[in-house]
Amino acid sequence: MKAIGAAIVLLLLAAVVASSIGVVYARQQNRLLFGELTRLTHEQDDLNTEFGRLELEQATWAEPNRIEQIARGQLGMVNPGAADSVVVKP
């Protein structure tokens, strides 16, 4: 009878130790994952900032006045005159 009681106590002690190790492991994983979440959140903020900067740069490069100036200055393009236009009827 005494042996059964000791076995139960040892079993419960092993369960408590295993549970304690599980809690410590879970907390450590939580700390690591929170650190990674923080790092990824900062990276997301940096990427959003860069994306906004790139959108602004794209809008600047695609501005119609700028494209027209390049077409006229570098490529020598001009608007066609009335004599150069041909109307095609279906």
User: Where would I find the H helices in 62-77?
Assistant: 64-73
- The pLDDT of residue 90 is 85
In a domain, 83, yes or no: no
What pLDDT is attached to residue 2? 86
Count the domains in the chain. Answer: 1
Copy the structure tokens of residue 78: 């001009």
Domain that holds residue 66: 2-77
Does the residue 88 lie in any domain? no
State the virtual CA torsion across 44, 50, 53, 55 in degrees, nearest 10: -70
**pTM for this structure?**
0.59
| Tokens 């059964």, located at residue | 4
* C-alpha to C-alpha distance for 10 and 51, rounded to whole angstroms: 60
Residue 23 belongs to some domain of the structure: yes
Averaged in consecutive runs of 10 residues, what is the pLDDT profile of the chain (90 residues)?
89 97 98 98 98 96 90 90 87
Q: Look at residue 22 and tell me if it is in a domain.
A: yes
> Which pLDDT score, from 0 to 100, does residue 81 have?
86
27 within a domain of the structure (yes/no)? yes
